[in-house]
Amino acid sequence: MYDAIRPILFKLDPETAHNVTFSLARSAQAAPGVLSLLRSNYQIDTPKLSTTLFGLEFANPVGVAAGFDKNGHALGLLAALGFGFIEVGSVTNLPRTGNQKPRLFRLEPDQGLINRMGLNNEGPEAAKHNIAKLRRKALASNRKPMIVAVNIAKTHDPQILGDKGIQDMLDCYKKMAASGDFVVLNVSCPNTAEGKTFEDPEGITPLLEAVTAERKANNPHQPLLVKFSPDSTPFNLEKTIEVCERFDISGYVMVNTSNDRSGLQTNGGTIEKIGKGGLSGKPIHQRAVERVRFAHKLLGGSKPIIGLGGVDSAESAYEFIRAGASLVELYTGLVYQGPRLCREILTGLAGLLERDGFSTLTEAVGTEHH
């Protein structure tokens, strides 16, 4: 089905194509019988791929990365497609329209995307409403609600910096924490006027002081994760993780999009014309796996890592898992391959575990280090 409509979507501007897809998804969610039809076509039972992390039972390790469904409008449909969890966001304390268009670009020869969306989102109230609606519907039909993570970032506004930036993220955390099964602090979004936000030991310390104090007071058992960039040097990453460990961060999401353009197949003139933005998809896969490997070794496997960056097959997901990721996420792969991708990855992963003699997914995590 997606193979038939993809050429039409790819004739459209990427953001228009995304919006058209979302309009269709929202209509499909509301139509009687569509979600149960999708469930029967796309969901598969893979007990050996289930895993328990942060006290949460994940039916499988494949999730949708933040940025795909910023406001939670397509949660019902994404759940029906068989994903193990969904990361909504980035949500910011104040709603934002984002950067000027065009701001999303396909790199077809590379199976990549460049985006400089600028953290456009409808704000906390919209996201909270949509997540609550998903849970109500699941409970009404006696189904286990999908695990939903909330990704929060600083509001895209060059006036909101320093202490104001910390207060802004803290306010967003206060509004959103109760809605997420776990929360991800996006400290590394490259698509804002001022560039990176808190991704260094000095920047992240006061932010974590504020957020973890609030967490201790009101959400002491809620998992709190930090999302890092692939562009951070190993030294900077190590020092920043050391700070996170002092604040008992529950796990790490690796990686965000990249500003690096090395090794691309797409014509250099095209890349230059596109300009700034975060690169995602296949071109950043190896760097992302390296970051997961590095963090897993550094932490001695003591904290779960969610790996993302070019997950577009069972093999690429398995590479993350063997390097030390307990879960994986995808976004760009969905754009290029469509809704069947999750099922294909799960089927393939089950086969890879069997081939290598693992009876559960958990047994395979970090095994390339052994």
Whether 342 is catalytic:
no
**The two three-digit tokens of residue 117, written as one number:** 């969306």
Rounded-to-integer distance, Cα 354 and Cα 363, Å: 11
Across the strands, what pairs with 328?
62, 307
CB 287 within 8 A of CB 258: yes
Among 331, 305, 333, 335, CA closest to 320:
305
E strands, 231-300, in order: 251-254, 278-281
Among 63, 88, 304, CA closest to 176:
88
Cα separations (Å) of 249 from 183, 184, 226? Answer: 11, 10, 7
Report the chain's terminal Cα–Cα distance, integer Å.
42
Rounded-to-integer distance, Cα 26 and Cα 362, Å: 35
CB 272 within 8 A of CB 293: no
Rounded-to-integer distance, Cα 184 and Cα 167, Å: 16
DSSP per residue, 319-334: HHHHHT-SEEEESHHH
Residue partners of 321: CB distance under 8 A and separation at least 6:
61, 307, 328, 349, 361, 364, 365
Catalytic site positions: 189
